[in-house]
């Protein structure tokens, strides 16, 4: 895309150099603000990030999380025809001039050109990680430079106002749940595998919460889509198959065999007992156990075990006392102080306990965690 109409023009007037943006004028809280489009190639040059060496009280933004930038840049590089960026929000510390295309009092008064002196400083209030990622993505793919991003510009009235804008813009920002992220993600193969597993299984489709990652006490669901997603990542890690459909079939076959070992799950599906009671009294429907069972299934898949042989091994799951009140087994492993813990260390310890009950040898990492746990190094 190379649309000159979206690019700010540069001009000189009485030795004062200026940017001229096509813009739309709006009003919020009695203050004018402007919306425009800017080519990506100009973003690194126009928009600066506050000096990270300044103390927090002297900055208008949080420090840049450098780990996030490569992830966002990679997202753009890997999806050049489908990536999406929301608008950047910035403050300008200069006098600006807006000239409407139509001064007759109609709607055209909102559309015109915004003139900003080149000496102005543009400070991003929201979107600094997108700005840094755009800069990195342009290095890898300069052709992105002619594409554009929306900019919402406010006239800067000082540091206090900039800091308040940052606080207000982030005050009500809520990260979507992991489950709905999986549900709406069509790029990630594991998301697709997990959704197909649920949709094709008459058992899991009835009992899986597709939107939220935390089940309410009265929810009729036993599992969350995000828990199944994490479990599938563990299950299929390093498993080479001939096709995507084969991976879906393996995951579906494994989890349906697992589900056969838990009578309480089927009682919930048959409305004989509530899901809340099972989640309250047992540990086996919680995400940490799903993750552990995924790791155990992965060992079977990597060992090229025939699916028919899974049944014999998995049947031993019935011998485990899954009650949350069974502190001898679960306290310190899956439960800390009466609450389920999903930390990496707890996943290892829970997996080790289940693997031992199934008569399977422990991998080195789980053995080290088990030895430390036995010595009291929790």
* Chain segment 235-261, per-residue pLDDT in tens: 999 998 889 999 999 999 999 999 999
| Statement: residue 58 has pLDDT above 50 | no
Q: Is the dihedral of CA 290, 293, 299, 303 positive or negative?
A: negative
What pLDDT is recorded for position 283?
Answer: 95
Q: Which residues of 64-92 are buried (b: 16+ CB within 10 A; e: fewer)?
A: eeeeebeebbeebbeeeeeeebeebbbbb
pLDDT over 70, % of the chain: 88
- What pLDDT band is residue 54 in, cutting at 50, 70 and 90? very low
| Statement: residue 204 has pLDDT above 80 | yes
Tens of pLDDT, residue by residue over 132-185, are 999 999 998 999 999 999 999 988 766 667 677 777 777 777 778 899 899 988
More confident residue, 139 or 6: 139
For the chain, counts of helices (H) and of strands (E): 16, 13
H helix intervals, the chain? 43-46, 68-78, 128-140, 159-171, 178-184, 189-200, 204-207, 225-235, 244-259, 263-269, 275-281, 287-302, 307-314, 327-330, 344-357, 364-374
Segment among 35-39, 60-64, 76-80, 133-137 with least mean pLDDT: 60-64
| Statement: residue 105 has pLDDT above 80 | no
> Which helix H or strand E contains 89, and what residues bound it?
strand 88-92
More confident residue, 210 or 162: 210
Segment among 122-126, 216-220, 248-252, 365-369 with least mean pLDDT: 122-126
Q: 294 to each of 238, 248, 255, how far by Cα in Å?
A: 13, 14, 9
More confident residue, 105 or 15: 105
What pLDDT is recorded for position 281?
Answer: 95
Rounded to two decimals, the pTM is 0.76
More confident residue, 168 or 78: 78
Residue 271 to residue 266: CA distance in whole angstroms: 9
Segment among 10-14, 22-26, 158-162, 280-284 with least mean pLDDT: 10-14
- What pLDDT band is residue 126 in, cutting at 50, 70 and 90? confident
What pLDDT is recorded for position 2?
Answer: 46
Q: Considering only CA atoms, which of 349, 354, 350, 353 is closest in space to residue 369?
A: 349
What pLDDT is recorded for position 4?
Answer: 46
**CB within 8 Å of 295: residues ≥ 6 apart:** 234, 235, 347, 351
More confident residue, 128 or 306: 128
What pLDDT is recorded for position 121?
Answer: 82
What pLDDT is recorded for position 318?
Answer: 95
More confident residue, 58 or 296: 296
- Give the chain's mean pLDDT: 87
Tens of pLDDT, residue by residue over 324-370, are 999 999 999 999 988 999 899 999 999 999 999 999 999 999 999 99
Residue 359 to residue 354: CA distance in whole angstroms: 9
* Mean pLDDT, residues 279-303 taken together: 95
């Amino acid at each position: 895309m190379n649309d000159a109409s979206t690019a700010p023009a540069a001009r000189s007037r009485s030795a004062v150099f200026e940017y001229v943006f096509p813009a739309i004028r709006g009003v919020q809280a009695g203050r004018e603000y402007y919306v425009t489009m800017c080519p990506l190639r100009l973003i690194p040059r126009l928009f600066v990030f506050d000096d990270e060496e300044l103390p927090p009280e002297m900055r208008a933004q949080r420090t840049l999380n450098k780990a996030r930038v490569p992830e966002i840049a990679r997202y753009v590089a890997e999806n050049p025809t489908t990536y999406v960026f929301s608008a950047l929000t910035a403050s300008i510390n200069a006098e600006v001039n807006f000239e409407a295309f139509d001064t007759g009092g109609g709607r055209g008064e909102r559309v015109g050109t915004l003139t900003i002196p080149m000496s102005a400083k543009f400070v991003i209030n929201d979107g600094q990680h997108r700005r840094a990622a755009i800069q990195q993505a342009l290095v890898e793919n300069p052709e992105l430079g002619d594409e554009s991003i929306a900019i919402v510009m406010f006239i800067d009235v000082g540091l206090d106002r900039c800091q308040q804008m940052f606080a207000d813009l982030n005050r009500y920002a809520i990260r979507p749940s992991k489950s709905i992220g999986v549900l709406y993600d069509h790029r990630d193969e594991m998301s697709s595998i997990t959704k197909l597993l649920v949709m094709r299984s008459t058992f899991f489709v009835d009992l899986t919460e597709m939107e939220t990652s935390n089940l309410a006490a009265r929810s009729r669901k036993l599992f969350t889509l995000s828990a199944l997603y994490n479990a599938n990542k563990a299950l299929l890690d390093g498993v080479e198959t001939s096709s995507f459909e084969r991976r879906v079939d393996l995951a579906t076959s494994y989890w349906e065999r697992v589900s056969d070992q838990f009578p309480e799950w089927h009682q919930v599906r048959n409305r004989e007992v509530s899901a809340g009671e099972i989640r309250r009294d047992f540990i086996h429907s919680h995400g940490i156990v799903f993750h552990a069972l995924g790791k155990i299934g992965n060992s079977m898949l990597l060992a090229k075990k025939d699916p028919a042989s899974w049944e014999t091994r998995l049947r031993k799951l019935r011998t485990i006392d899954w009650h949350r009140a069974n502190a001898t087994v679960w306290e310190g492993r899956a439960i800390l102080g009466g609450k389920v813990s999903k930390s990496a260390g707890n996943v290892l310890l829970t997996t080790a306990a289940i693997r031992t009950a199934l008569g399977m040898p422990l991998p080195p990492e789980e053995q080290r965690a088990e030895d430390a746990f036995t010595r009291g190094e929790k």
